[in-house]
A and B are shown apart, each in its own frame.
Chain A
């Protein structure tokens, strides 16, 4: 089947977008054991941040100039909201029972959706997102859509920056230490409060890059876009092993490829012709999650809890 390489590339691109958002779930969970269910909305507000910058720019600005500024706008908005949420919503609840910050996160998620719906101009329906011109790009038998070309560059660059930060910098080592044993990290002189803020900020920055990718890929953004995508990214984080940043990227790619292949080929299986359409894509994504949780609950790269003796 000669369209298989094409489907794989489509899946890889979709998956790397999931992965960019998944990093935020996994980093925050790794440090404070909180599932930040507002992360999908942090992603969504990033898209609106990028759109706002675009609307400020004089008409006719080329994307070569606009795109970097839009990324900056997206990152600034997402990071500001994430850091604000940490400071005013989550930090006061740090010693509260687990359920309290979780419910706060869900509440924050709804509040952010409604805030954009109510106050962002014309956001009650989808808003058009600016597009890159040129393309599509043909590499052999594979076509990369113009809107996806950003992901081809952004995903690996983001991953490389993250890996360098975590493995090579002093703050990154402090972050690893905090994830493994927060009290002992303090004994080493690590300011764990600061590390937590950095984890929220970094996760938000990668989500913002993902949000720009989303806008370019689908051509429009809306106040609800963070819900399903957030759920998928969370799935990707669990799939890869929550708490593991490489796992988040790998989980995203596995999820994106599985979803794409299922949508493309499942209808070819006799008796399954009803289940091949795009509407079923989300179902297959979550079926994959259930299977992983059944057979490898720690995720693909996750570590068994037993080694945390």
Chain B
């Protein structure tokens, strides 16, 4: 069986500076895989490369058996790879509903789109209450919900979430993590990038620890959660 996403020896550079130095990992359908690590480890760069915003200098990306290296960013989403970017990047001057519609930009099945907008409102009721409000007026946590809802609107085979808990209050973070767990239980395949290692690893089937452009440790979520070095470095224990 081939994996849904296969990354092989991926290298990405900003000018001469290599930010990702040859990483390999897989995501199987139905799994939640997480990349954890500190700032500057190359996690966001990895996701931006997978969705085509950055071009790799080397290595292979295969999604659903197809190489993504030559596919422009705006076509990658149509293959079933959705990306909720770091910092949320909702469209601030559009309404919540228009943001969701943009998530379905390439879809033409109107009834299906309406159904999925309703699904996003069921998942995040606060968005439904404010559907006509400009997205820029939402709080950070609500914007995160919108960014996730928007990414789901493309009916992705793989959902990539970049730091969904960043800058959120503990309560809001719990809500977001609970939603990710709910999506997982519905069978959504997720590639999760997080600095909050504890939360990410408890959810994940597989985890990879990144440090300055390399994957230094891989294992199941549970194993990493109990790994001595991970606990020291990322879970604040000594």
Could you tell me the distance between the alpha carbons of A191 and B85 in the complex, rounded to whole angstroms? 18
A-contacting residues, B61-117, CB 8 Å: 72-75, 77-78, 82-83, 85, 89, 91-94, 98, 101-103, 105-106
A281 CB to closest chain B CB, in angstroms?
Answer: 35
Binding site for A on B (CB under 8 A): 51-53, 72-75, 77-78, 82-83, 85, 89, 91-94, 98, 101-103, 105-106, 136, 150, 154
Could you tell me the distance between the alpha carbons of A287 and B34 in the complex, rounded to whole angstroms? 59
The 4 closest A-B pairs by CB, nearest first: A186-B73, A189-B106, A184-B89, A189-B77
Is A274's CB within 8 Å of the partner chain B?
no
Could you tell me the distance between the alpha carbons of A187 and B73 in the complex, rounded to whole angstroms? 7
CB <8 Å contact, B73 and A184: no
Binding site for B on A (CB under 8 A): 170, 173-174, 176-177, 180-181, 183-192, 303, 307-309
Inter-chain contacts of A183 with B (CB < 8 A): 53, 73, 85, 89
Could you tell me the distance between the alpha carbons of A189 and B91 in the complex, rounded to whole angstroms? 14
Inter-chain contacts of A192 with B (CB < 8 A): 74
Specify which of A173, A303, A309 is in contact with B105 (CB 8 Å cutoff). Answer: A173
CB <8 Å contact, B105 and A190: yes
CB <8 Å contact, B53 and A187: yes
Do A188 and B105 contact each other (CB < 8 Å), given the known contacts A173-B98, A183-B53, A307-B136?
Answer: yes
Do A188 and B89 contact each other (CB < 8 Å), given the known contacts A174-B105, A177-B102, A180-B94?
Answer: no
Inter-chain contacts of A309 with B (CB < 8 A): 92, 136
Residue of B51, B73, B101, B103 contacting most chain A CB atoms (<10 Å):
B73
Q: Residue on B with the closest CB to A192?
A: B74
Inter-chain contacts of A307 with B (CB < 8 A): 92-93, 136
Could you tell me the distance between the alpha carbons of A173 and B82 in the complex, rounded to whole angstroms? 19
30 example contacts (A-B, Cβ-Cβ < 8 A) are as follows A173-B98, A173-B101, A174-B105, A176-B94, A177-B91, A177-B94, A177-B105, A180-B91, A180-B92, A181-B91, A183-B53, A183-B85, A186-B52, A186-B53, A186-B73, A187-B53, A188-B77, A188-B102, A188-B105, A188-B106, A188-B154, A189-B75, A189-B77, A189-B78, A189-B105, A191-B72, A303-B93, A307-B92, A308-B92, A309-B92
A170 CB to closest chain B CB, in angstroms?
Answer: 7
Residue of A170, A173, A188, A189 contacting most chain B CB atoms (<10 Å):
A188
Could you tell me the distance between the alpha carbons of A170 and B107 in the complex, rounded to whole angstroms? 11
CB <8 Å contact, A184 and B136: no
Do A189 and B74 contact each other (CB < 8 Å), given the known contacts A183-B53, A303-B93?
Answer: yes
Could you tell me the distance between the alpha carbons of A94 and B103 in the complex, rounded to whole angstroms? 26
Do A181 and B89 contact each other (CB < 8 Å), given the known contacts A188-B105, A307-B136?
Answer: yes
Inter-chain contacts of B89 with A (CB < 8 A): 181, 183-184
CB <8 Å contact, A176 and B92: no
Inter-chain contacts of A184 with B (CB < 8 A): 85, 89, 91
CB <8 Å contact, B102 and A173: yes
CB <8 Å contact, A170 and B105: yes
Inter-chain contacts of A174 with B (CB < 8 A): 102, 105
Given A176-B94, A181-B89, 19 more A-B residue pairs with CB atoms under 8 Å apart are: A173-B98, A173-B105, A177-B105, A180-B91, A180-B92, A181-B91, A183-B53, A183-B85, A183-B89, A184-B89, A184-B91, A186-B73, A187-B73, A188-B103, A188-B106, A189-B106, A190-B105, A307-B136, A308-B92
Could you tell me the distance between the alpha carbons of A111 and B104 in the complex, rounded to whole angstroms? 43
Q: Residue on A with the closest CB to B75?
A: A189
Could you tell me the distance between the alpha carbons of A308 and B102 in the complex, rounded to whole angstroms? 18
A216 CB to closest chain B CB, in angstroms?
Answer: 37
Could you tell me the distance between the alpha carbons of A50 and B233 in the complex, rounded to whole angstroms? 71
Could you tell me the distance between the alpha carbons of A189 and B89 in the complex, rounded to whole angstroms? 15
Could you tell me the distance between the alpha carbons of A187 and B160 in the complex, rounded to whole angstroms? 11
Inter-chain contacts of A191 with B (CB < 8 A): 72, 74
CB <8 Å contact, A187 and B85: yes
A99 CB to closest chain B CB, in angstroms?
Answer: 20
Residue of A173, A186, A307 contacting most chain B CB atoms (<10 Å):
A186
Inter-chain contacts of B150 with A (CB < 8 A): 188
Q: Residue on A with the closest CB to B147?
A: A184
Could you tell me the distance between the alpha carbons of A191 and B71 in the complex, rounded to whole angstroms? 12
Q: Residue on A with the closest CB to B108?
A: A170
Q: Residue on B with the closest CB to A181?
A: B89
Could you tell me the distance between the alpha carbons of A176 and B102 in the complex, rounded to whole angstroms? 10
Inter-chain contacts of A188 with B (CB < 8 A): 77, 102-103, 105-106, 150, 154
Inter-chain contacts of A170 with B (CB < 8 A): 105
B74 CB to closest chain A CB, in angstroms?
Answer: 5
Inter-chain contacts of A186 with B (CB < 8 A): 52-53, 73-74
A158 CB to closest chain B CB, in angstroms?
Answer: 23
